[in-house]
Structure 1
């Protein structure tokens, strides 16, 4: 049996299973969770394959800076069809299109944030990754081909050293980056933020570029893994005004991190109140909401 035949049987069975689970979801709600999960996985595979091919082509024609943008847009349209979820972006001043280069930051709730990135990702922007990933087969190749900004943390004793090379790349290539300063997914049922790591803020200060916060409403009513909730829906996202870093020094990073987190938290609560139509108090924060550490691994998200 040929590879194409095996692939055809696999895809046919996969899609039949997904459709069956969707049909069963009206009787067994958890079947809907399984159906959308399987749909999301196959969507990611399809878009990742497209992303590799697009990155190779764009690298050849000298346009690798938009490779991650075009891959992100593929996620937006494919996953809107397969799982019925989209993020509605409120960016009246068109900061996503006009502020460049910049360090874009956002709250990180779950794996669904891949789709959020697909809806908001600026055109000349990339994610960041530690330099060691550059040499990992397939993943590292895609990252390198698509213009990822790599952070060299080898033998670094603090975040400022680790960010030096990345800051220079941002300046010379005029390439923005997108970072989740929480450093990990929160899986929160109610709106909130984990303490912020300072890597994104060190990077913005060193590069002398603005920070642009992007906040998504809490979407536990759409996806909440612990309760097997995975529904279709529209989730609001708001792009806040850029925060300038010109003239700031490393010693200003703690306050910059704290004040930015406080601003984002207020906006997340306001957005969530609007979409869920219920009053929500701003959650209390232990300490100042900033991770205080000197090591690059501890401060870089």
Structure 2
């Protein structure tokens, strides 16, 4: 595909996002006046499904998932998901893939995005002020424990921010610290989304994104840093298998 055609298709895709987010966000806000929790969450997930559908139909971004059978099926069995972070794509896709509601840990600045931010502010999510690290961790620990008790799965990107294709960020132990404190298994996830939607790029290109879900790793009796090193080793080895051209 030519660069100009990819740009045009990406423009259409982002227009699709902008147009469709408004009615879904308003519906979520209206519903949240009367109901909170799962009903509002699934309204928002419907918009995310439309977004991933739009990426596939408009821009040719397809995906395949392996390892779903490794995740628990019981409604109240918690896990903490620790995915590789290369793109906006996985932040949109993971809630549509998982059987349990996801509780993202994210910077509070996202709440100020019109419609999108207003809607996620009504969900069971953990928004933190990164400038207040001790206060932020207390919020993650308290709310993470509470939401997991309801059956939600917490999702935290260990690298913190999106990384370029073929590179590796610094894996921080926040997710494994929460896992050790709560006795919750962690699930490493590799995702090759930068092949189609690189960080800081407006242009999506056609291709196939691979998502590989690892086996849950028990956290009881572990140290957060040591546990995160195991998560990091699995993810980075799996990334080299999924996207060898990038490495």
TM range (shorter): 0.7 to 0.9
Cross-structure match for 1:171:
148
Residue of 52, 55, 69 corresponding to 2:28: 55
Q: Is the 8 A contact 2:124 2:147 kept in 1?
A: no
Q: CA deviation at 1:65?
A: 4.2
Cross-structure match for 1:145:
122
Structure-2 change in CA distance of 1:102 and 1:48 (3 Å): farther
Cross-structure match for 1:265:
236
Q: CA deviation at 1:183?
A: 1.2
Q: 1 or 2 for the larger relative contact order (CA 8 Å, sep ≥6)?
A: 2
Is 1:217 the counterpart of 2:192? The answer is yes
- 1:1-54: CA deviations, max 9, x gaps? xxxxxxxxxxxxxxxxxxxxxxxx6xxx22023113212312322442244145
Q: Is the 8 A contact 1:72 1:121 kept in 2?
A: no
Q: CA deviation at 1:256?
A: 0.9
Cross-structure match for 2:11:
38
Residue of 58, 61, 71 corresponding to 1:95: 71
Residue ranges of structure 1 left out of the alignment (5+ in a row): 1-24, 282-301
TM-score by length of 2: 0.79
Residue of 23, 48, 53 corresponding to 1:72: 48
Partners of 1:106 and 1:262 in 2: CA distance:
12
Work out which of the two has the higher radius of gyration on C-alpha atoms and give 1 or 2. Answer: 1
Cross-structure match for 1:287:
none
Cross-structure match for 2:82:
105
State the secondary structure of the residue aligned to 2:124.
coil
Partners of 1:139 and 1:226 in 2: CA distance:
19
Cross-structure match for 1:231:
205
Residues matched between the structures, number: 243
After superposition, the CA RMSD in angstroms is 3.4
Q: CA deviation at 1:231?
A: 2.6
Residue ranges of structure 2 left out of the alignment (5+ in a row): none
Structure-2 change in CA distance of 1:135 and 1:36 (3 Å): closer
Q: CA deviation at 1:153?
A: 6.3
Q: CA deviation at 1:234?
A: 1.9
TM-score by length of 1: 0.67
Q: CA deviation at 1:224?
A: 5.1
